[in-house]
């Protein structure tokens, strides 16, 4: 534990829960928020006492640095409930490590582990009745970390707030997803912030993604900014390409600073490898995927991410070329999705110690 760290959470419970008014039968991803939130402020060079308080608006001035310079990073996690009502997190230490990796890149102080891990556990204990129990449903957790100093000078803030809000969630993508390989716009460049979960990485994707949506594609697969030659990630998910029986995915940090090192991606690589699927983590040329599509060797493409879990892609476009991607008989996406969800929802043994029970 860090010296002088104030690790006892102040808990202020909501006077009247909003739960009875929440409509769990029409859950839309990320629209409904539970009763409480976690907040921890950093100022005067130190972390202040963390609190769990009713979900509420923030008290910041328009001059707060986050609004001007986007000094903000976040995470995506989920809490799952099994059929007996036990509650679990999935690999929270990975998200803890990643938020501090992102924070470092944006010049922000490290968040103490006690605040992140213990804070999330306390918050979930308080709002566990908000975890939906339908197939594929969960409580989506959104840790977010922002610069709060009131100053328009372009320099790192001297004060920050770390927060966690939670949202009962159904599937992120409710319909079929077709993707377009982007060969004009870029999401990230070498030495940039692509590997960090920086808020601005997402805003930068909205305009090209909207253009792709207008052409009938729900997501973009980003390519390297230098040559637009290699396939990278989809912004909401890392990507996997099955050519023949081989599963390919692009490398993340340290090999590439452009791609988010997804927790689901890492878990899928491990599960696939342990089930004798040949996985290659290496730069993937657009050319080889399109050739494989043309000669029938491209069996499937799927995305992997916390919100999306494992998502089969049903169509692929590159320049003037388009192909449907019908699901193969023995789909790796289905197999791996079931394997990861078995662990997340406590439907099977967890030989990896990924599932963390909240008592």
Sites for ligand COI among residues 209-248 (CB under 6 A): 236
- 186 near ligand COI (CB under 6 A): no
Binding footprint of ligand COI, residue count (CB under 6 A): 5
Spatial separation of the C-alpha atoms in residues 67 and 65, rounded to whole Å: 5
Please state at what angle helix 92-105 crosses helix 263-274, rounded to 10 degrees.
130
- 194 near ligand COI (CB under 6 A): no
Considering beta carbons, is residue 64 or 141 the nearer one to ligand COI?
141
Spatial separation of the C-alpha atoms in residues 233 and 229, rounded to whole Å: 13
Closest CA to 327 of 290, 306, 307, 298: 298
Considering beta carbons, is residue 76 or 315 the nearer one to ligand COI?
76
Please state at what angle helix 263-274 crosses helix 332-344, rounded to 10 degrees.
110
Considering beta carbons, is residue 76 or 149 the nearer one to ligand COI?
76
CA atoms within 13 A on the CB side of 105: 24
CB of 303 to ligand COI, least distance (A): 10
Give the residue at shortest CB distance from ligand COI: 76
End-to-end CA distance of the chain: 21
- 344 near ligand COI (CB under 6 A): no
Sites for ligand COI among residues 74-93 (CB under 6 A): 76
CB of 306 to ligand COI, least distance (A): 4
Contact assessment for residue 196 and residue 73, using Cβ atoms and an 8 Å cutoff: yes
Contact assessment for residue 29 and residue 172, using Cβ atoms and an 8 Å cutoff: yes
Q: Which of these ranges, 120-128, 154-162, 225-233, 302-310, lies near ligand COI under the rule CB under 6 A?
A: 302-310
CB of 98 to ligand COI, least distance (A): 11
SS (H, E, C) 27-80: CCCCCCCCCEEEEEEEECCEECCCEEEECCCCCCCCCEHHHHHCCEEECCEEEE
- 303 near ligand COI (CB under 6 A): no
CB of 187 to ligand COI, least distance (A): 12
Considering beta carbons, is residue 121 or 197 the nearer one to ligand COI?
197
Q: Which two tokens stand for residue 239?
A: 């990507």
Q: Which two tokens stand for residue 334?
A: 């289905």
Q: Which of these ranges, 157-165, 174-182, 282-290, 299-307, lies near ligand COI under the rule CB under 6 A?
A: 299-307
Out of 304, 307, 316, 358, the residue judged to bind ligand COI by CB under 6 A: 307
- 305 near ligand COI (CB under 6 A): yes
Binding residues for ligand COI, rule: CB under 6 A, are: 76, 236, 305-307
């Amino acid at each position: 534990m860090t010296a002088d760290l104030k690790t006892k959470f102040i808990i202020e419970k909501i006077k009247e829960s909003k739960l009875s008014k929440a409509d769990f039968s029409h859950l839309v991803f990320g629209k409904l928020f539970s009763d409480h939130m976690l907040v921890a402020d950093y100022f005067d060079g130190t972390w202040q006492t963390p609190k769990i308080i009713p979900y509420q608006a923030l008290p910041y001035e328009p001059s707060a640095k986050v609004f001007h310079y986007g000094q903000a990073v976040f995470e995506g996690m989920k809490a799952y409930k099994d059929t007996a009502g036990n509650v679990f997190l999935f690999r929270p230490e990975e998200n803890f490590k990643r938020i501090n990796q992102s924070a470092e890149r944006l010049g922000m102080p490290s968040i103490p582990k006690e605040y992140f891990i213990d804070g999330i556990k306390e918050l979930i204990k308080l709002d566990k009745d908000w975890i939906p129990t339908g197939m594929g449903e969960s409580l989506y957790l959104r840790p977010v970390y922002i610069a709060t100093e009131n100053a328009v000078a372009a320099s790192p803030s001297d004060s920050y707030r770390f927060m966690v809000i939670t949202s009962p969630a159904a599937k992120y993508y409710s319909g079929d997803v077709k993707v377009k390989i982007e060969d004009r716009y870029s999401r990230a460049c070498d030495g940039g912030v692509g590997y960090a979960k920086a808020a601005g990485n997402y805003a930068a994707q909205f305009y090209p993604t909207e253009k792709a949506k207008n052409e009938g594609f729900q997501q973009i697969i980003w390519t390297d900014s230098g040559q637009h030659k290699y396939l990278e990630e989809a912004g909401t998910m890392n990507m996997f390409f099955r050519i023949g029986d081989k599963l390919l995915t692009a490398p993340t940090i340290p090999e590439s600073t452009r791609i988010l090192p997804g927790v689901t991606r890492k878990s899928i690589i491990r599960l696939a490898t342990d089930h004798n699927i040949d996985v290659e983590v290496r730069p993937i040329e657009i050319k080889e995927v399109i050739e494989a599509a043309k000669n029938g060797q491209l069996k499937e493409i799927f995305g992997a991410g916390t919100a999306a879990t494992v998502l089969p892609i049903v169509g692929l476009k590159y320049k003037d070329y388009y192909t449907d991607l019908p699901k193969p008989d023995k789909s790796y996406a289905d197999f791996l999705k079931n394997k990861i969800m078995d662990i997340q929802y406590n439907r099977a043994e967890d030989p990896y110690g990924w599932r963390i029970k909240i008592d």
